[in-house]
Structure 1
Amino acid sequence: MVVSHRFGVLTESAFREAMKYVVEEVLGAGAVRRVTMYDEEGLVYGHKSEVEVDLVVRDREHILVEVKSRVSRGDVAELYRVGLLYEKLYGVKPRLVLVGGFIDTDAWETAGALGVALKPALKE
């Protein structure tokens, strides 16, 4: 996927690496690492699958972070289900954060209902 909304053209993985740098180095919020979980019951996608998410652990708080070029309500719902899986597997209720270059209007409503924090990558 290519991120082009207000960022020029760069790959989503490059965008993710830039956000990782911001979290780790600029904010000093802890190390970001990629976690792979196996969803035996199909909680996240409706069938057995591997699920990947970025994790920051800071002062005993577990934060699941997803970085997207564009955030939809489906992305919010997906991260919410990933959080449920994480809690089930590790016994820790994580904080959920979605960082996006562009956030759809309906994503804000869904995020409020599900307790997912949305963070624009750039301020207008």
Structure 2
Amino acid sequence: MMAEEEIKKVLMQNPSILIDVLTAKPEIIYEALARLTPWQNLPTKDDIRRIEDKMVTKDEAKNFATKDDLKVLEAKMVTKDEAKNFATKDDLKVLEAKMVTKDEAKNFATKDDLKVLEAKMVTKDEAKNFATKDDLNKAIRKIETTITALGARWGLLNENTFRIGINDILKDLGWKVSEEVLYDKTGYIYGEPSDVEIDVTVRDGQTIIIEITSAIKRGDLPIILRKREFYEKEKKIKVDRVIVITPFIHDKYPDRVKAMAKDMGIEILYPE
């Protein structure tokens, strides 16, 4: 025991001796390390490389999301409860079924269309100046009275004079009668192509064809009806009334002719 203490004392006083021994015998260091920690448990360079491969650099770590980034993202996101209010594909399908396509929308009236229509329409105040149905009936009664008076002097009048007289009366009553000449190229009215004279007026918003003739017979009614149909087809408008003004119904039974005309939508004005 005394010997070990002496050796320790010598080494403590002269540590250079220990350095000289370890330098001369380095294996002593390895044996000491092996006893303290087995070599197989110490990391090798390969182990360090594998760890390095799995690790990220500081530059790569800059791209990682931080807690603050997550908080910002969370603030932008919605919860499941909030998402319940979002439209689903089914909701969009239902909405789509209720909507119209661009092609369908082309048929809708635009503001410009309404402006054009508005420019063609009249206001309520302007409409107050229009003739009413009562005004129209009064005018017809006045025409009938005039026809009766002219009929009493029919022997002194020819057809042209009668037409002129009736037209003058219509003008006095505010009836603006326009004579239109249309070409019937198929011969629909008279059986062969010909020019067709049709007198037309517009009263109380109604389009009225007026036929002025010195006499009318049953055979004239179908021709007048075809005139109406031809005019509607050519002008692409609806004729509301057809009025025949005549001083004489050339038939043994005038009332029957009037009844036939009524069934065909034709009104005959003549002195009863």
TM range (shorter): 0.7 to 0.9
Counterpart position of 2:242: 96
TM-score (norm 2): 0.40
Q: CA RMSD of the aligned region, Å?
A: 1.8
Note if 1:36 corresponds to 2:36: no
C-alpha offsets along residues 37-78 of structure 1, whole Å, 9 cap, x if unaligned?
A: 111221111121110021112243221111122111122221
Structure showing the higher strand proportion among its residues: 1
Structure showing the higher helix proportion among its residues: 2
What is the number of equivalent residue pairs in this alignment?
Answer: 117
Note if 1:20 corresponds to 2:167: yes
* Alpha-carbon distance, 1:80 to partner: 0.8
Counterpart position of 1:109: 259
Question: Which of the pair has more CA radius of gyration?
Answer: 2
Separation (CA, whole Å) in 2 of partners of 1:86 and 1:10: 30
* Alpha-carbon distance, 1:101 to partner: 0.5
SS in 2 for 1:63: strand
Give the one of 223, 238, 252 matched to 1:78: 223
Separation (CA, whole Å) in 1 of partners of 2:160 and 2:232: 26
* Alpha-carbon distance, 1:115 to partner: 0.6
Say if 1:54 and 1:65, in contact at 8 Å, map to a contact too.
yes
SS in 2 for 1:73: coil
Equivalent residue letter for 1:118: I
The alignment-based identity, stated in percent, is 32
* Alpha-carbon distance, 1:93 to partner: 2.1
TM-score (norm 1): 0.83
* Alpha-carbon distance, 1:87 to partner: 0.2
